[in-house]
Amino acid sequence: MYKATNMFASSTKAEHFYELFLLPRVREDIRIHKKLHFCLYQSLKKSLFKPKGFYCGILLPLCKSGTCTIPEAVIIGSIIHKFSIPENFSSAALVCLAEMEFLGTRSYFMKAILEKKYALAHLAIDAVAAHFLRFRKETKVMPTTPEIVRELISSRNRGEMEDNSHSASTIKEDWFDMPQVPMEED
């Protein structure tokens, strides 16, 4: 698989190869062995030579499927964490992820991109902010991932805020707090 990835990484068909062959093979290996074989990891690393192909052929189809598991997210997220990806492709992928419905694994990928400390485009920052503002009206208890990503955004872009009325206290609202319920003693 590595040799095929190496061959397609420099072609215009890279995105299709990643989506139709590499991604299913990676998902199958993670599902069967609960980890990723070294050669497949190297193939994912090699796929970063075409960042658009990586995002459009691996990350976005994985997120759009709605069946991304936590081990898959952690392994593919480690590729995003460890290796350099150009900012403009990451901003575009962040916008696409922010427009999708909430899933914990999608938020994990958003967090991985945001932790790279890129100078993101304003469009990407606005899309991520709008993504998390959709949770304002949610009544169900949400996981802490949105809070972590929201805090990450606010800490990275605090210097760019034009209005001083947006302080950390207004960003850190108690939307997701659960009420205290007394426990019964046995």
pLDDT at 168: 45
Q: Is the pTM of this model over 0.75?
A: no
pLDDT at 27: 92
Mean pLDDT per 10-residue interval, the chain, length 186 residues: 73 83 90 90 89 90 89 90 89 89 84 84 84 72 61 59 45 48 53
pLDDT at 157: 57
Asked whether the beta carbons of 129 and 153 are under 8 A apart, the reply is yes
pLDDT at 175: 46
Nearest alpha-carbon partner for 48 in 13, 74, 83: 83
pLDDT at 156: 58
Alpha carbons 33 and 77: distance in angstroms, whole number: 18
Full 3-state SS string of the chain: CHHHHHHHCCCCCHHHHHHHHHHHHHHHHHHHHCCCCHHHHHHHHHHCCCHHHHHHHHHHHHHHHCCCCHHHHHHHHHHHHHCCCCHHHHHHHHHHHHHCCCCHHHHHHHHHHHCCCCCCCHHHHHHHHHHHHHHHHCCCCCCCHHHHHHHHHHHHCHHHCCCCCCCHHHHCCCCCCCCCCCCCCC
pLDDT at 163: 46
pLDDT at 133: 78
